[in-house]
Amino acid sequence: MSVSVLEIERLNKSFQTPKSTVNALSGIDLKVQEGEFITVIGPSGCGKSTLLKIVAGLDLAYEGSVKLSDKEVTGPGIDKGFIFQEPRLFPWLTVEKNIAADLSLRNPDIRKRVDSLIELVRLQGFENAYPRELSGGMAQRVAIARALLRSPKVLLLDEPFGALDAFTRAHMQEVLLDIWQHNKTTMIFVTHDIDEAVFLANRIVILKPRPGSIRSIVPVTLPYPRKKATTSFQSLRLKVLSEFERIEDTEWVDRAGL
């Protein structure tokens, strides 16, 4: 039987602004299985980052329940790796020291694990380079390796490849799938790119805005490695796209007051 690593139940989140209350998330229910690759997709402002921050324990002001391995999330921690759109490295540290961060490379176990992560994220030869010497894609791989060294129960990625050019982005998607297949880390990956969502996921969670809620969940059973040019890939892509069109229809109805 599969095991839920993350359980979100009846999650509501609102922001109080001086002028009004923003209903950012409403009635979110989601169970994520151990080792699953979830992508979360939806229009800008539909609550994707808010959802990820809540799972990360970076925002505790919500209603409902968020459990990681059966324990309520009470704050941030190394069991929840977080990758932002920009890599957030320490500019004064080399690649390997950025990955080790507060852990000592003189510890033989840490040394060994850092070396194998450097290989996994394909950065051999750059161990002693500084962040300013890296491309955007390489820097993002350092950030991913740093999170993985902490063996997180879940890796949360908020549009991590959004700032990269199309070729680098495609390469990074392949590297990330390699990592996932090797480490079996549970992934929750936010994107607004439909191709990326279909290419990576076991399940695609489609959010709709105002208030942010789950429009539908699309399972993707295509075998890996996936090819974006195949008919089966394209028909799934269309399926996701048609969900978005349904969102827009609903909004039109809302606007017309029907």
Q: Give strand pairing partners of 41.
A: 191, 206
Which of 27/225 has CB closer to ligand ADP?
A: 27
Alpha helices in 94-218 (DSSP H): 95-100, 108-120, 136-149, 166-183, 194-200
44 binds ligand ADP (CB under 6 A): yes
20 binds ligand ADP (CB under 6 A): no
Fill in the per-residue mask, 193 to 232: x = in contact with ligand ADP (CB under 6 A), - = not in contact: -------------------x--------------------
Which of 43/77 has CB closer to ligand ADP?
A: 43
48 binds ligand ADP (CB under 6 A): yes
Which of 87/212 has CB closer to ligand ADP?
A: 212
Long-range contacts of 104-111, Cβ-Cβ distance < 8 Å, separation of 24 or more: 110/149
46 binds ligand ADP (CB under 6 A): yes
Question: Positive or negative, the Cα torsion across 57, 90, 35, 25?
Answer: positive
Cβ-based neighbour number of residue 127 at 10 Å: 15
Q: Would you state the structure tokens that stand for residue 160, as one six-digit string?
A: 């991590």
Site for Mg ion in 44-73 (CB under 5 A): 48-49
Which of 96/159 has CB closer to Mg ion?
A: 159
> What's the number of CA atoms in the CB half-sphere (13 Å) around residue 168?
14
21 binds ligand ADP (CB under 6 A): no
What does the binding site for ligand ADP look like in residue numbers (CB under 6 A)?
A: 15, 17, 22, 24, 42, 44-50, 212
